Amino acid sequence: MALESTDVGKKTISVTRAIKLDGPGDTKTHKARSISLLSVLADDLTGIDAGLIFPGHDGKHWTRTAYGNWRERVWQPACEEVGIGTITTTKVNGKTKRSYVGATPYDLRHSFASLMFHEQRNPLEIADMMGHSPQVLFSTYAHVIAELRGAAPISAEEQIKAARSSIRDEDA
Q: How many CA atoms lie within 13 A of 78 on its CB side?
A: 10
Buried b (16+ CB within 10 A) or exposed e, 128-153: bbbbbeeeebeeebeebeeebeeeee
d(CA 116, CA 140): 14
SS3 of 12, please? strand
Tell me whether residue 91 is in a domain.
no
pTM, entire model: 0.79
- Give the pLDDT band of residue 29 (cuts 50, 70, 90): confident
d(CA 13, CA 53): 12
Tell me whether residue 10 is in a domain.
no
Tell me whether residue 143 is in a domain.
yes
**48 C-beta neighbours (distance < 10 Å), count:** 13
Per-residue pLDDT reduced to its tens digit, 50-93? 899 988 888 888 888 888 999 999 999 999 998 999 999 999 89
Share of the chain above pLDDT 90, in %: 53
CB under 8 Å, gap of 24 or more: what pairs does 76-79 form? 76/100, 76/102, 79/103
Q: What is the extent of the structural domain holding 118? A: 106-172
Q: What is the DSSP letter of 109?
A: H
Q: How many independent structural domains does the chain possess?
A: 1
Per-residue pLDDT reduced to its tens digit, 116-144? 999 999 999 999 999 889 999 999 999 99
Tell me whether residue 151 is in a domain.
yes
- Spatial CB neighbours of 19, under 8 Å, sequence gap ≥ 6: 1, 2, 25, 61, 62
